[in-house]
Amino acid sequence: MIVVTGGAGFIGSAFVWRLNQEGIEDIVIVDSLGTDDKWKNLVNLRFADYIHKDAFLRMICDDRVPFDVSAIVHMGACSSTTERDADYLWNNNYLYTKTLAEWSLQRGIRFIYASSAATYGDGTQGFSDDHSKINILKPINMYGYSKQLFDLWALKNHVENKIAGIKFFNVFGPNEYHKADMTSVIFKAFHQIKETGKVRLFKSYLPKYPDGGQLRDFVYVKDCLNVMWWLFNNPAANGIFNLGTGKARTWNDLIKAVFAAMGIKTNIEYIEMPESLRNQYQYFTEAQMSKLKKAAGCPVVFSPLEDSVRDYVVNYLQKTDPHLSAS
């Protein structure tokens, strides 16, 4: 069995979809469905069983997992960058990951986990995923710190070359619909355009960047899945890797691509950024991808932003059922 934690969430459910595309259905999904619409991500997928995350943790701690595990793909976490409960993030994101990693390592089971580009903080330390530079990073929110904690644990215990960690940058695509305020700007822009005919973006407060000229590394979830599938099939490819396109694009580029995909003339309104955000706002993120592509040898080619946005808008957001389907 392949265990996918967070398997009802955005990237987790998308990876289950990718496994289904390869004819794989021996999958156990571990998650907590709660009261939002995350369960809808599961409807079109094929898998063997679902286990609540707390029940699975008890199985791991008691060493009574009732099936053979060939790999754990650990995407489960609280992904809200605005979550303020530090104890919850410590337990749910750091300690849970550490427990699964230790169990997997003891048994020689493939372990792939989600880190985050949020570990890079304000970006002043750069965006290098070189292991020697990870310990100098200073996340600016507790979510980023909870991810950094496990990266540091892996390095301290010298297991970083026995597992694969993925620092996801700005991922967008189908199956993110349940994420409320944490959905991608593409998802939000699509609905703003449908409702008002325009999109609102924050103004820039640095002369170096024009309004809407702030830069992010936007990466399509389908490209992320290709990388994850490659890591899954190459157990010798270990380490903590960035996962972005390696090319930053502006918010203006992103929004123009959404308008173009919808066949509507671009209409952007620039608004004031709340004072509370101005001192921690990131004006630039860009994944350094040489470690994954050259050192590890991952052959994945990333789609142009405009093509990815068009696929997401036309083939998902504009459909009655926008979820990824195993059929």
The answer to whether the beta carbons of residues 167 and 240 sit under 8 Å apart is yes
- What are the backbone dihedrals phi and psi of residue 83, each rounded to the nearest 5 degrees, phi first? -60, 130
Torsion angle of the four alpha carbons 185, 189, 190, 193, in this order, in degrees rounded to the nearest 10 = 180
Q: Which residues touch 156 (CB under 8 Å, ≥6 apart)? A: none
Distance in angstroms (rounded) separating the CA atoms of residues 197 and 46: 38
Distance in angstroms (rounded) separating the CA atoms of residues 242 and 220: 14
The total number of residues shown for the chain amounts to 327
Residue where the block lists tokens 């969430």: 9
Distance in angstroms (rounded) separating the CA atoms of residues 218 and 223: 11
CB atoms within 10 A of CB 43: 10
CB atoms within 10 A of CB 170: 19
Q: Which of the following is catalytic: 40, 53, 98, 179?
A: 179
**DSSP-derived secondary structure for 272-307:** PPPHHHHTT--SB-----HIIIIIS-----PPPHHH
Give the burial class of 87: count Cβ atoms within 10 A of its Cβ; 0-12 exposed, 13-18 middle, 19 or more buried: exposed
Q: What is the DSSP letter of 114?
A: E
- What are the backbone dihedrals phi and psi of residue 89, each rounded to the nearest 5 degrees, phi first? -65, -40
Q: Which of the following is catalytic: 96, 143, 220, 316?
A: 143
Per the annotation, the verdict on 265 as an active-site residue is no
Per the annotation, the verdict on 188 as an active-site residue is no
Residues that are catalytic: 143, 179
